[in-house]
Amino acid sequence: MPMQMNEACTLKTRQIIKNPALTLGMSQKDVGKYKKVATAYGNVAPVIVAAPVNGEYLILEGSARLEACVQTGIKEIPVVKSRTSEEPEQLKLALMLSSIQDEGGALSEGALISRLINEHGVAPRELANLLGKSKAWVSKRMSLAQNLADGVKGMVTDGTLCPRSAEEVAKLPKDVQAEFAVNAVNSGLNKNEISELVQRYKNASSDDAHREIIKLPSEALSKVIVRVRKKTAFNTGLNSPERQLISSANYAAQMIFKAVNIAENADEKSLCAARPQLIWLRDIAAEADITLNRLLSDYLPGETERAGVNGYDN
């Protein structure tokens, strides 16, 4: 493969065009982090831009750094000018960079994938191979760009809702997504529980069932859990080992999800204060992952992914 001879130089910030796909996934938290650096030292990390068109350069990586410099009043910044001049290649480069960088994230990836497939006819399999992902991953990312309501996209950007949960919410009608997402997050529901409720919504035949799932997801979920337990052939006593295990697993998953969401939106002072507890949580999660993978492999071969709520098929 021929080497691309890219060029490092300095450009005026007004010469750089914002990339709508990357802006979609840019959080103010990222901008704020870079503003601290820019205020103290200027922009010490170059952004990557495409080949010029009419003297202007489309940004391919570093949207948060660029925005931080603009807000800080920095007029010129270091850049690396990529030689990619064809738009499909520019989008592919931006997508690859987004997938390995801290900024941008799922929404930006979805927007870039959507443009490559819909506007430039790039096959999903080509993008899957390019990124080392599955076709299902590519399809789910694209659904975030095409099917997710704007209000829910904002929840993904600020870290309130994780991308995997958002992929499930995107399967609902757009006019109910935001209300459901807010209620699900406030109820501490995890991705698998959200997925179960979304599936129930799609299969429900009455408006009352639809309303309950959207407005009272916890109550709707509790009814699902009751039905699942009735179908399972184990002891349903209040203090049975099965019931305790299910209850503990549900509670632990909800609390971990809540802690991670709070941590993602916390300021530096709060993170420093909670550092010992977060390290402990990380270590416990790693040990739990190893142990549960072993148990699921030994006793439930082929069931390492939860098929439904509480680990049981419905």
**CA angle at residue 69 from 67 to 73, to 5 degrees?**
120
Q: How far apart are CA 142 and CA 228, in angstroms?
A: 32
Query: Taking 90 as the threshold, does the pLDDT of residue 182 lie above it?
Result: yes
Tokens of 101: 């960088």
Q: How far apart are CA 156 and CA 150, in angstroms?
A: 10
pLDDT at 160: 87
pLDDT at 303: 44
Q: How far apart are CA 234 and CA 251, in angstroms?
A: 20
Q: Number of helices (H) and strands (E) in the chain: give both, helices first.
A: 16, 5
> Residues 240-247: what's their mean pLDDT?
76
Query: Taking 70 as the threshold, does the pLDDT of residue 87 lie above it?
Result: yes
pLDDT at 311: 38
pLDDT at 66: 92
* Residue the block writes with tokens 């870039």: 112
Question: Residue 47 pairs with which residues in a beta bridge?
Answer: 79
Q: What is the mean pLDDT of the chain?
A: 83
pLDDT at 103: 47
Query: Taking 90 as the threshold, does the pLDDT of residue 114 lie above it?
Result: yes
Distance of CA 216 to the CA centre of its chain: 24
pLDDT at 184: 93
The helix (run of H) or strand (run of E) holding residue 258 is helix 241-264
Per-range mean pLDDT, top range of 48-62, 75-89, 167-181: 167-181
> Residues 148-155: what's their mean pLDDT?
93
With a CB cutoff of 8 Å and minimum separation 6, the contacts of 42 are 69, 74
With a CB cutoff of 8 Å and minimum separation 6, the contacts of 29 are 158, 159, 265
Query: Taking 80 as the threshold, does the pLDDT of residue 294 lie above it?
Result: no
pLDDT digits (tens, 9 = 90+) for 215-227: 999 889 887 654 4
Distance of CA 31 to the CA centre of its chain: 18
Phi, psi dihedrals of residue 47, rounded to the nearest 5°: -95, 165
> Residues 55-69: what's their mean pLDDT?
90
Set out the domains of the chain in order of their start, with CATH numbers. Answer: 7-147 (3.90.1530.10), 152-311 (no CATH)
> Residues 38-64: what's their mean pLDDT?
87
- Is the distance from CB of 49 to CB of 80 less than 8 angstroms? yes
Tokens of 106: 């799922």
pLDDT at 300: 52
pLDDT at 239: 62
Query: Taking 50 as the threshold, does the pLDDT of residue 242 lie above it?
Result: yes
pLDDT digits (tens, 9 = 90+) for 24-35: 878 888 888 888
Share above pLDDT 70 across residues of the chain, in percent, rounded to a whole number: 86
Question: Residue 191 pairs with which residues in a beta bridge?
Answer: none
The more confidently predicted of residues 254 and 8 is: 8
Q: How far apart are CA 312 and CA 231, in angstroms?
A: 10
Sheet holding 76-81, edge to edge: 7-12, 76-81, 47-49, 57-61, 16-17
Detail the DSSP E strand segments found in the chain. Answer: 7-12, 16-17, 47-49, 57-61, 76-81
- What residue type is 278 in one-letter code? L
pTM over 0.85: no
- Nearest alpha-carbon partner for 182 in 210, 221, 156: 156
Q: How far apart are CA 250 and CA 3, in angstroms?
A: 51
